[in-house]
């Protein structure tokens, strides 16, 4: 069974020969290959080289592009700065009106975004269907937050909901256009990154009224493009799990504050679950044995009858010890 087949079966809640395992390797892969992060996020050949090196080193069931929450905001017009040894950061936000245009669907495909599309294409050429090749892209809420500033977005949630709703619809259409571009490049899956949809910021009422309609539209487009749709939420989203399960995503990728077996009970079979070993302490600082034990415990708690992909709560820190990553992968193998 190939990694791609294993994941597709798991997503359909069918039994697999073993649990699929998919750590988000991006930044760590760049370090592993000795490629500076700032080069990997600008040069598709370098990014693909780093990710392929990680595939060969660890043999995961899927490989995703680098996590870069500034690529789409930069394409939309936000100013981004790259400092040596650090991932890019948004340093200049857009006025709200700049996103109130139907030009977003075109604009989101510019700047560094094509780097990630080209990376997907290169990965597919090298890997074929042996492992799942996926793209990480900003979801509409996080694209808005990083383009406008989280404080502007937070105030809009209470003071200008109509405009925010319209902007999220426009960004949803733009994200859909980007998803289609990744599908054309050969992506088997697209993972929407929505760290801003953590419950502390976006309560159930806001999620349901403002974000869920866009997510459903994007996930519907993914199905039509025959691409698996995945939704990643950082932090604690326990209070919103049932709604997230109804987003139409094939997979919910959840962070370590969420108890995955409890999440499974909460959403049933509405989506498969992926995650969620701690990337803040356990993976970068824990012992290899503690990583292995935690991963085995999670596999045991989640069962082996499909609907679960073992992974990380978020992207691995660049300097995660190689042995810890290897032990995470080993825990999925009999």
Partner 1 sequence: MDVETATARLERAIEAGDEEEAPRTAQALLDLGVEPTHVTAALSRTMAGLGRRFQTLDIFVPDLLIAADAFEAAMAVVEPAFLRSEAGRVNKGTVVIGVVEGDIHTLGKNLVRVMLAADGFTVHDLGRDVKVARFVQAAAEHDADIIAMSALMTTTMGRMNDVVELLRRKEARGNRRVIVGGAPITQQFADEVGADGYAEDAPRAVALANRLLDRPRLR
Determine the Cα angle at 279 with ends 275 and 283, to 5°: 105
The token pair at 48 is: 């693909």
List binders of partner 1 among 302-321 (CB under 8 A): 317-318
**Least distance from C-beta 27 to partner 1, angstroms?**
9
Region of 107-115, 117-125, 135-143, 195-203 interacting with partner 1 (CB under 8 A): 195-203
Q: Where do we find the tokens 């650090």? A: 86
Q: Where do we find the tokens 């749709």? A: 229
With binding defined as CB under 8 A, does residue 201 bind partner 1? yes
**Least distance from C-beta 32 to partner 1, angstroms?**
17
Number of helical H runs and strand E runs in the chain: 17, 10
CB 167 within 8 A of CB 144: yes
With binding defined as CB under 8 A, does residue 71 bind partner 1? no
**Least distance from C-beta 181 to partner 1, angstroms?**
28
**Least distance from C-beta 239 to partner 1, angstroms?**
6
| Residue from the set 199, 229, 253, 324 that interacts with partner 1 by CB under 8 A | 199
Dihedral sign, Cα of residue 209, residue 269, residue 308, residue 296: positive
* DSSP letter (8 states) at residue 195: G
Q: How many beta carbons lie within 10 A of that of residue 230, not counting itself?
A: 29
**Least distance from C-beta 68 to partner 1, angstroms?**
12
**Least distance from C-beta 150 to partner 1, angstroms?**
5
With binding defined as CB under 8 A, does residue 91 bind partner 1? yes
List binders of partner 1 among 213-242 (CB under 8 A): 234-235, 239
With binding defined as CB under 8 A, does residue 74 bind partner 1? no
Which has the closest alpha carbon to 135: 187, 62, 59? 187
Determine the Cα angle at 104 with ends 172 and 122, to 5°: 80
Dihedral sign, Cα of residue 284, residue 287, residue 289, residue 295: negative
**Least distance from C-beta 177 to partner 1, angstroms?**
28
Which has the closest alpha carbon to 285: 232, 323, 246? 323
With binding defined as CB under 8 A, does residue 209 bind partner 1? no
CB 52 within 8 A of CB 131: no
Compare residues 234 and 271 and give the one whose CB is closer to partner 1. 234
The contact pattern for partner 1, residues 144-163, with x = CB under 8 A and - = no contact, is ------xx--xx-xxx----
In the complex, which residues of this chain contact partner 1 (CB under 8 A)?
83, 85-87, 89-91, 150-151, 154-155, 157-159, 199-203, 206, 234-235, 239, 280-281, 317-318
């Amino acid at each position: 069974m190939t990694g791609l087949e294993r994941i597709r079966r798991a997503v359909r809640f069918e039994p697999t020969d073993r649990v699929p395992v998919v750590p988000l390797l991006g930044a760590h892969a760049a370090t592993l290959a000795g490629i500076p992060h700032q080069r990997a996020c600008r040069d598709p050949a370098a990014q693909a080289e780093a990710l392929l090196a990680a595939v060969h080193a660890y043999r995961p069931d899927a490989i995703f592009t680098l996590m870069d929450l500034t690529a789409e905001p930069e394409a939309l017009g936000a100013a981004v700065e790259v400092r040596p040894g650090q991932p890019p950061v948004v340093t200049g936000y857009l006025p709200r009106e700049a996103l109130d245009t139907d030009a977003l669907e075109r604009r989101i495909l510019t700047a560094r975004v094509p780097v990630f599309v080209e990376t997907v294409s290169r990965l597919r050429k090298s890997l074929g269907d042996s492992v799942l090749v996926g793209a990480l892209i900003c979801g509409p809420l996080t694209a808005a937050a990083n383009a406008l500033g989280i404080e502007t977005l937070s105030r809009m949630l209470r003071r200008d909901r109509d405009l925010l709703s319209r902007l999220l619809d426009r960004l949803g259409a733009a994200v859909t256009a980007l998803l289609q571009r990744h599908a054309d490049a050969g992506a088997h899956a697209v993972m929407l990154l929505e760290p801003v949809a953590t419950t502390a910021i976006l309560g159930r009422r806001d999620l349901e009224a403002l974000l869920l309609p866009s997510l459903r539209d994007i996930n519907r487009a993914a199905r039509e493009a025959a691409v698996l749709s995945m939704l990643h939420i950082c932090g604690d989203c326990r209070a919103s799990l049932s709604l997230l399960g109804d987003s139409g995503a094939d997979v919910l990728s959840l962070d370590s504050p969420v108890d995955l077996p409890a999440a499974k009970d909460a959403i049933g079979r509405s989506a498969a679950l992926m995650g969620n070993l701690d990337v803040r302490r356990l993976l970068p600082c824990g012992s290899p044995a503690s990583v292995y034990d935690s991963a085995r415990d999670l596999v045991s708690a989640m069962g082996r009858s499909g609907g679960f992909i073992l992974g990380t709560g978020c992207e691995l820190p660049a300097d995660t010890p190689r042995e810890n990553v290897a032990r995470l992968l080993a825990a999925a193998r009999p």
